Chain A
């Protein structure tokens, strides 16, 4: 039982960052209709920016996290302006191919820049784990969970409580009508992509110190983001949050009770099963017919 609870706690911690990744991806898909295969690279970018700030510029840890999010936002905005805006209105396959190109280019740029050797990020939290009754957790991991929860809550407020968020939701529902109502679609697209990329970079910055940083780390992360989005239904914010937590817990249980070699297979299995049995996601309301 204690072991089980420990797995659940570890799963929640991982799941929080998976949710961050998933929310970014699901917003980009829902609002822009772009399948962002480069999403994992913004996660990698966040991790490396944190490393850059800490190891080379020797700044404060929390400043490094902010810098990472900012780098994601900035590069996301550039990417949208340069590559996606000219292709507005093209088929989803076209933008998908472009994003695959961005993915390959970014990953290998990181490999060229930083080399293939994994790097670890120092953090100011004490090493010995805290014990909460039967459970134990590293302070850093607890911080990761807290930061992820804050970011998710912030995103929720942005989307549901602000004027910008309302414009984003309007664009999601109907792009043409939103444009007719005076919503600047171009701006919404740039903001959405920058925001999603910023969240991914944030997730990378948070998990970077927990694991190690290496150029291909974005691939499993992107996969997890896709799993989360599929679990929650494409374009579904609350679904992505729940989906992230479910994936985190499922992975921990799978690795704990089945085999750690197949940890990543949990994600693949979820994708295949959900898409085949319930393609609109676990949390979609029953679709109307006709």
Chain B
């Protein structure tokens, strides 16, 4: 039953450009895909190791700027920029993780906020490199070409959708593989009881830094995709709104589950777009805040775990 459901869902997603005609809806699907990658990435830290990073937009922005700068200044092809964005963001994650994961709880949160703040200020003030608040227009579209052999362009929306779908699926698989491995069990052990985990030989800081690196690299991948999709990068990519959106997606979807962030990302990309007709942007953000509070009060584990419990109970009632 579950397999059939997943198969149908997979087929629907693969065929989406064929049954979704409106390019605006394809755009929403692409953004949902990018946010899925981001939510999966944050979930690795927040959901599995229990560390709340409120600077996650920094890694997204680092990925976006790396891709954009390499393409614009050094004429790197997009795929190479993508790989570089993943590596640079991962490296930044290593640096930040290495220094900040000595701290826990509120202290860790504050260091991550500060890191994102500093990066934002640099992106605004370092005019020579980043063009400051004006941003970097004209980022080339995502194209893979081997001279004379073949050319693959992701310039059109449906083509880019497949690219995002592919990267999101890859991110999901990386998370699933990681979480079900020894490493993932170490993450969960550290989340549940750090002292106990360390007493059985788990090197806390080492595993947490690993989680930070993978998480940052994934956010960097999302940033690179975003840069090549919107073809414009400005300091706005570091905005706290992005981080908040990611946190809400993970918390509302269900932190510490694999499906949670995906459901949360799709829900909170589609919902604002659906509400756009009726309300303005600030009302949406207001609603986000209220929803976050309501979720903590009424669905503290998130939508996915709540649904699972509900399904299990229903099945138990039936003979």
Query: A residues bordering B, Cβ < 8 Å?
Result: 29, 35, 83, 86-87, 92-94, 96-98, 100-109, 111-112, 219, 223, 226, 230, 234, 259, 261-262, 264-265, 267-269, 271-272, 275-276, 279
Contact = CB atoms under 8 A, between A and B. Distances in A.
Question: Which 6 A-B pairs rank lowest in CB-CB distance, beginning with the nearest?
Answer: A105-B289, A104-B289, A101-B292, A101-B293, A108-B286, A268-B114
B110 A230 contact: yes
A275 B108 CA distance: 9
Contact of A112 (B100, B240, B283): B283
Interface string B98-129: 01101101110111011101100100110000
Given A101-B296, A259-B125, A261-B124, A35 B282 contact: no
Contacts of B109: 35, 96
A234 B105 CA distance: 13
B41 to A, nearest CB: 18
26 contacts: A35-B106, A35-B109, A83-B293, A87-B296, A92-B105, A97-B251, A97-B292, A97-B296, A98-B297, A100-B289, A104-B285, A104-B289, A106-B289, A107-B289, A108-B289, A109-B286, A112-B280, A264-B121, A265-B118, A268-B115, A272-B115, A272-B118, A276-B99, A276-B100, A276-B102, A279-B107
A109 B117 CA distance: 24
Residue among A83, A106, A112, A267 with most chain B CB within 10 A = A112
B290 A112 contact: no
Interface in B26-57: 50, 52
B283 A261 contact: no
B163 interface: no
Contacts of B207: none
Main secondary structure of the interface of A (DSSP, over half): helix
A105 B124 CA distance: 27
Given A106-B289, A262-B125, 8 more contacts: A86-B297, A98-B293, A98-B296, A101-B292, A105-B288, A272-B114, A275-B110, A275-B111
Nearest to A100: B292
Most B-side CB within 10 Å, residue of A92, A97, A102, A111: A97
Nearest to B51: A93
Interface string B184-207: 000000000000000000000000
Contacts of B291: 101
B247 interface: yes
B300 interface: yes
A112 B251 contact: no
Which bracket fits the contact residues of B?
35 or more
Interface string B251-276: 10000000000000000000000000
B118 to A, nearest CB: 5
Given A92-B105, A262-B121, A100 B286 contact: no
B121 A269 contact: no
B52 A93 contact: yes
A234 B109 CA distance: 14
Contacts of B13: none
B105, B113, B125, B293 — most chain A CB neighbours (10 Å): B293
Contacts of A107: 285, 289
B69 interface: no
Nearest to B119: A268
Residue of A86, A98, A234, A264 ringed by the most chain B CB atoms within 10 A: A98
A104 B111 contact: no
Contacts of B107: 230, 275, 279
Contacts of B121: 261-262, 264-265, 268
B283 A271 contact: no
A97 B121 CA distance: 25
B244 interface: yes
Contacts of A268: 114-115, 117-118, 121
Interface string B130-153: 000000000000000000000000
A264 B122 CA distance: 11
B106 A92 contact: yes
B125 A101 contact: no
B288 A104 contact: yes
Contacts of B106: 29, 35, 92, 96, 234
